[in-house]
Amino acid sequence: MRYFFETEGKTRHEAEEQVLEILKLSAGQVNLEQVQGGGIFSFVSRKPVVLRAYPTDSTPGEAVMKGVVIMLCRLMGVELQVKAIGELEGNILIEISSTDSGILIGKHGRTLDALQFMVNLIVEPRYRKNQRIMLDIESYRERRQQSLTRLAKGVASRVARMGRSVALNYMNPYERRIVHLALENDERVFTRSDGNGLYKRVNVIPASRKGQEYEEDFEDFNNENLSYEGNRFVE
């Protein structure tokens, strides 16, 4: 595997201590390669010592995942802490915390989704036990789930009342699943995902149209920054 963490220090010893402390590893659990600094002319150049960490057979998967997350965020200029690594619905959930949480989440969670994609791409399946890694920051996923569930139920009421289908904005698979599950037992409507690629639209359709051929007459519904309260949509 490629290196999974990089850090620097004034000396090699300082950089090594940082690696072991941040990743909670012992010296025998990781291979370290010096890629900058040190040497007989280090007192002249004053360049910091940069170390890269490569996994060994004894490197825990959690350390690899933690290192990748921290390293990618540092490349974005963001410092963060990994609070916990656990499981959620068959996935690995990594909970992070940062004073720059807004930057990491991005508009409608798109930055967090992109970061999550990169982490899954870099961390080899053997270190994540062939599971998918999910990132959450400051309970954003939980708050997003609550908001989308309220929204889905509100849209269902609108569809049932108006008799016209509603097409929600493009959402990632995780968010689409929330909407589908929120309405799966609602006898007034059914849902369908349309589109290509990672981001697709969820269509909420009157139950009376199920199994019928009909022209696409979906009402575009801008669900960005909206939630549903009572009987109205609010920003």
pLDDT band (50, 70, 90) for residue 221: low
DSSP states of the chain as a string? ----EEEEESSHHHHHHHHHHHHT--GGGEEEEEEES-STTHHHH-PPEEEEEEE-TT--HHHHHHHHHHHHHHHTT---EEEEEEEETTEEEEEEE-TTHHHHH-GGGHHHHHHHHHHHHHS-TTTTTTPPEEEEETTHHHHHHHHHHHHHHHHHHHHHHHT--EEEEEE-HHHHHHHHHHHTT-TTEEEEEE-SSS-EEEEEEEGGGTT------PEE---TT-EEETTEEE-
Phi, psi of 191 (to 5 degrees): -120, 155
Distances in Å between the Cα of 167 and the Cα atoms of 77, 162, 164, 201, 220 are 37, 14, 10, 6, 5
More confident residue, 47 or 111: 111
Q: What's the pLDDT score for residue 212? A: 65
Q: How far apart are CA 36 and CA 17, in angstroms?
A: 16
- Fold equal for 5-138 and 142-234: no
Q: What is the mean pLDDT of residues 130-140?
A: 93
Would you list the domain boundaries of the chain?
Answer: 5-138, 142-234
pLDDT band (50, 70, 90) for residue 101: very high
Q: What's the pLDDT score for residue 32? A: 95
Q: What's the pLDDT score for residue 224? A: 52
The mean pLDDT value of the chain amounts to 87
Q: What is the mean pLDDT of residues 115-136?
A: 95
* Whether the predicted pLDDT of 11 surpasses 50: yes
Mean pLDDT is lowest, of 2-16, 36-50, 89-103, 117-131, for 36-50
Q: What is the mean pLDDT of residues 100-111?
A: 91
* Whether the predicted pLDDT of 148 surpasses 70: yes
Residues 6+ apart with CB under 8 A from 87: 93, 131
Query: What digits encode the pLDDT tens for the residues 59-92?
Result: 999 999 999 999 999 999 999 999 999 998 889 9
pLDDT band (50, 70, 90) for residue 5: very high
pLDDT band (50, 70, 90) for residue 51: very high
Q: How far apart are CA 24 and CA 141, in angstroms?
A: 27
* Whether the predicted pLDDT of 46 surpasses 80: no
The number of C-alpha atoms within 13 Å of 2 and in the hemisphere containing its C-beta is 8
Tell me if the domain spanning 142-234 has CATH number 3.40.50.300. Answer: no
* Whether the predicted pLDDT of 231 surpasses 70: no
Query: What digits encode the pLDDT tens for the residues 178-202?
Result: 999 999 999 999 999 998 888 899 9
Distances in Å between the Cα of 206 and the Cα atoms of 39, 130, 147, 158, 210 are 72, 39, 22, 10, 7
Domain 5-138 classification at class level: alpha beta
* Whether the predicted pLDDT of 235 surpasses 50: no
